[in-house]
Structure 1
């Protein structure tokens, strides 16, 4: 386990260097509810969520390896879509996003405004994975998965890296599973102990 944690915590460190200047260092806030609770408001991040951390790390890593595909592709209802669109445009790669027809129109518009091609017609939550495979085969685009991708996980872990540098002890973490995975890798390396991750029971992941 120690070797596993060390390996991936180091990748989070490298991810922080890689995405430096591409994402914001969001503030750490306290709350009147509990003096020991710290909030990391990633709503202040570019595109309004933590997702650009993972998208930038994945796409910049892809380019750094010399793998420059015809484009990148993702499936998302909004936040990951915007993150991939932004990161891809930064390095000059076309981005194609499959977004379900019932997605938030504002997020769809924002994704298009960031330069991505969006396919919505006929896309549902149930069939989007199948359509994804079909479009990937047609165009040869590389998938940037929203959570099942180590480069994405390492990028999301950078959210807590600065928090820990501020001497904040983290033992209970609440958030989406992909950011929790990255955070736990960093925190376990710093303080080897049992961690508790909390996610709402309605979360898709």
Structure 2
């Protein structure tokens, strides 16, 4: 099994009545500074506050189509995917458990509970998240909805590209914040099917090592999996998923943008101050990348740049530039 373009088209038909067709913004200041036309796809204004709803909805609704006796769903998440699965489960009247690291921002845990899910906290490691989730799934007979490494989730995230290229068909490149790789994989499949010459760039937090892995053509990450020390809590998973990895190898540029926490703050502040948009740190990575010296030095033929603002679930009492 794999995710194909037709699966993304089917996912869009399946979920479109439940999601927002998120707006696209431009910034004169950004365009002037970059010398390019930059278009911001604002998934921070999606229901539940992030792009994650697309994949979660497609996964839950697909499970319901296949099994009407579905007992419920479970997932693990740093927040955004958990909120999305909880909301998707509520639409389908399904019980839901979300396993979260105990250092997850309070604003995200409160939101998960608000959608009716039961919250279970675990140690802040990928291994603890997985083992806790696996145990509860078996004990309670629940179906697991992976955060990224699942073909129905990947297909749901790919619907972003359908909307983006419908609105801005002349895009030459798209910048995508990257954690486990579900969004960048889905966007890459759809965008390349619609416009084969388009470039898809992954943007990562410092320490992720994705650029080195892509250039080497292999998974160089240390085991066991770990979380990165970054202010971008939504994308702190170091390793790309095993299902998303070959898709990214095939369709995503080997040149990766790597953002430090200081870079991320620059991007976030630009959105807050100049665009009047509330974005989380993961979105700050791609704003910074679009305006970076690295982008300025790239092919001037890339005139129209798409930027995916992945989410806006930020604790406004703990903005990273506040003392």
Selected match of 2:183 from 159, 175, 179: 179
Q: Distance in 1 between matches of 2:108 and 2:170?
A: 34
Q: Distance in 2 between matches of 1:194 and 1:14?
A: 22
Total equivalences in the alignment: 199
Q: Distance in 2 between matches of 1:170 and 1:138?
A: 48
Cα RMSD after superposing both structures: 1.7
Name the counterpart of 2:147.
146
Gaps of 5+ in 2: 207-234, 241-323
Tell whether the 8 Å contact from 2:176 to 2:183 is kept in structure 1 after alignment.
Answer: no
Q: Note the 1:114-193 alignment, pairs <5 A.
A: 114-120=115-121, 122-125=122-125, 126-166=127-167, 167-176=169-178, 177-193=181-197
Q: Distance in 1 between matches of 2:47 and 2:170?
A: 24
Q: Distance in 2 between matches of 1:195 and 1:113?
A: 38
- How many angstroms does 1:69 deviate by? 2.2
Tell whether the 8 Å contact from 1:55 to 1:152 is kept in structure 2 after alignment.
Answer: yes
Q: Note the 1:35-54 alignment, pairs <5 A.
A: 35-54=36-55
Query: Which range moves more in the overlay, 77-86 or 33-42?
Result: 33-42
Deviations 1:1-27 (A, max 9, x none): xxx7xx711111111110012110001
- How many angstroms does 1:193 deviate by? 3.0
Tell whether the 8 Å contact from 1:62 to 1:68 is kept in structure 2 after alignment.
Answer: no
- How many angstroms does 1:102 deviate by? 1.2
Q: 1:151 to 1:136 in 2, by over 3 A?
A: same
Indicate the structure (1 or 2) with the bigger Cα radius of gyration: 2
Q: Distance in 1 between matches of 2:87 and 2:193?
A: 31
Gaps of 5+ in 1: none
Deviations 1:139-182 (A, max 9, x none): 11111001001111110111121111122324242222321111
Tell whether the 8 Å contact from 1:98 to 1:123 is kept in structure 2 after alignment.
Answer: no
- How many angstroms does 1:196 deviate by? 3.4
Selected match of 1:23 from 16, 19, 22: 19
- SS of the counterpart of 1:40? strand
Query: Which range moves more in the overlay, 155-164 or 169-178?
Result: 169-178
Deviations 1:95-121 (A, max 9, x none): 00101111111111111110001111x
Q: Distance in 2 between matches of 1:93 and 1:101?
A: 25
Name the counterpart of 2:290.
none
Q: 1:106 to 1:201 in 2, by over 3 A?
A: closer
Query: Which range moves more in the overlay, 9-18 or 124-133?
Result: 124-133
